[in-house]
Amino acid sequence: MPSPYTEEHQAFRKTVRQFCEKELFPHVEEWERDETFPRWVFERAGELGIFGAHYPEDVGGAGGDYWFSVAKSEEFPRCGMAGVGMGLLVQGDMATPVINDIGTKEQKEEFLTPAIRGEKIAALGVSEPNAGSDVAGILTWAKRDGDDYIVNGAKTFITNGTRADFVTLLVKTNPEAGAHGCSFFVVPTNLKGFSVAKKLKKLGNHSSDTAELAFEDMRVPKRYLLGEENMGFMYLMQNFQSERIIACTSACSGGALMLENAVAYGRDRKAFGKPIIKREYWQHKFVDLYAKLEAAQALTYKGAEAYNEDKYVRKDNVTMETVKLISLAKIFVGDVMTEIADQCLQFHGGAGYMEEYMISRAWRDQRLFRIGGGTTETMRYYVAKLMGF
């Protein structure tokens, strides 16, 4: 496909790259050790217009198309820690799109605009201790009480969860209706009954904070209901597409960096008398990996193009054909990135197992991709249904 990027896209990309390389990368060791990163990162990203480039001007954005978000996500891996990129992507592409799509003017003013500016931190509350990819199985519920809803339950694996100012929260409002009984709320975290039950320790993505949240008789005013009651599952399926395709674009960029770093290492590292990159086995292996990365990126861009057409050109919901494309991209990208990370670590030998080399962190960080936002197995199940199998 022809390049989707204009001069404006490339200027924006340069801004994001400089932010990542000059302002974030120097803090890799500190933030990975602390298992969080400071609030000023959100504020600075908002100041630079990073969150709002693809949002409408009337909510504080720049009015650009979806390729601004793709360009941004491709640069985040340059900060050297996937956890920071994930926290920022949750802010701009996972917890807030549904507010832009179906939120009232008042909801956008209270939550979306401050999030775009980096003044409020956002989290997305969907997964639960007993319901991950099986979203219809969530148990957190809300009962109507006058002009309020009373919410009880728990959410887990929530990125930005320990310090979010609001949570875009999916709950059951009609437990007997299964998936068709879910509703979305946008919930300030200062409401009585809300609490951070605990901060979770993870295999990778150490620099992002991940939490388990608890709701005990949390009274949520009706004005915080997003869209229509019991339509939350449909809204979520639309919202998931942004989350999945933007994760794919960032993952492909991260895969390219893994290969670039590995090849550079292989030029310097000698074994049995010559650089290991000169070994025919590894030359062929890297050719195959680069071919698979090109295929993964092509499928990802096809999904991004379809999403941009649906949401920014037609200004409508995502079509089922686009959902299928994005799901296929998530499946394929996940498998390819796992192979790239594993082979690049193997190529480094014992050095790859050491914390001082980027590949060890990249190897454990990328493993989340095949789990978060819908497991690879769930994606295959969805695609099979869409194909009528």
| Alpha-carbon span 214 to 218, nearest angstrom | 9
pLDDT tens for the chain, residues 1 to 389: 779 999 999 999 999 999 999 999 999 999 999 999 999 999 999 999 999 999 999 999 999 999 999 999 999 999 999 999 999 999 999 999 999 999 999 999 999 999 999 999 999 999 999 887 788 889 999 999 999 999 999 999 999 999 999 999 999 999 888 888 999 999 999 999 999 999 999 999 999 999 999 999 999 999 999 999 999 999 999 999 999 999 999 999 999 999 999 999 999 999 999 999 999 999 999 999 999 999 999 999 999 999 999 999 999 999 999 999 999 999 999 999 999 999 999 999 999 999 989 999 999 999 999 999 999 999 999 999 999 99
| Alpha-carbon span 83 to 65, nearest angstrom | 25
Which pair of tokens denotes residue 76? 């985040």
Q: How far from chain centre, in Å, is Cα 201?
A: 18
Of the candidates 74, 75, 110, 243, the residue annotated as catalytic is 243
Cα torsion at 140, 246, 80, 334 (round to 10°)? 80
123 beta partners:
167
- Please, which residues have CB within 8 angstroms of residue 375's CB and are 6 or more apart in sequence? 132, 133
Judge contact between 43 and 119, C-beta under 8 A. yes
Catalytic residue list contains 23: no
Which pair of tokens denotes residue 205? 């993505």
DSSP states of 160-210 as a string? Answer: TTTT-SEEEEEEES-GGGGGGGEEEEEEETTSTTEEEEEEPP-SS-TTS-E
| Alpha-carbon span 167 to 192, nearest angstrom | 14
DSSP states of 45-62 as a string? Answer: HHHTTTTTTTS-GGGTS-
167 beta partners:
123, 187
Q: What domains lie within the chain, and their CATH numbers?
A: 7-120 (1.10.540.10), 123-226 (2.40.110.10), 232-386 (1.20.140.10)
Judge contact between 185 and 199, C-beta under 8 A. no
